[in-house]
């Protein structure tokens, strides 16, 4: 009986460890491998650009430290309500931006 309980306990610990280790991989990345996110100027729109390339016309890099990594993370949510103008100034988005 003791071995059964010990086996069940080890299985539970293993399942928790697996869930913890794979939780990060269950989050959707904002961009795929080899890409980084960029913000549309004056809009809450965004896109992904190949690493090593400049953002396309009409897009800018996110400010350092404010780059969204996964869908729904702190910065992904922030940029749904904020815009960057052509001079790099950040402001709250107006309806329809």
Residue 65 located in a structural domain:
yes
Let me know the angle formed at the C-alpha of 68 by 28 and 60, rounded to the nearest 5 degrees. 125
Q: What is the tens place of the pLDDT at every residue in 31-45? A: 999 999 999 999 999
* 30 has pLDDT over 70: yes
* Range 47-64 average pLDDT: 97
Residue 88 located in a structural domain:
yes
* 20 has pLDDT over 50: no
Number of domains in the chain: 1
User: Which residue range forms the structural domain that includes residue 43?
Assistant: 35-92
* 16 has pLDDT over 90: no
* 7 has pLDDT over 70: no
Q: How far apart are CA 84 and CA 63, in angstroms?
A: 9
Residue 52 located in a structural domain:
yes
Residue 66 located in a structural domain:
yes
Residue 28 located in a structural domain:
no
């Amino acid at each position: 009986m003791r071995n059964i309980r010990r086996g069940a306990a080890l299985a539970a610990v293993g399942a928790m460890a697996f869930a913890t280790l794979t939780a990060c991989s269950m989050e959707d990345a904002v961009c795929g491998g080899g890409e980084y996110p960029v913000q549309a100027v004056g809009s809450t729109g965004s896109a992904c650009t190949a690493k090593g390339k400049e953002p396309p016309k009409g897009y800018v890099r996110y400010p350092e430290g404010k780059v969204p990594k996964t869908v729904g993370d702190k910065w992904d949510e922030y940029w749904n309500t904020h815009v960057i103008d052509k001079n790099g100034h950040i402001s709250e988005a107006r309806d329809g931006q």
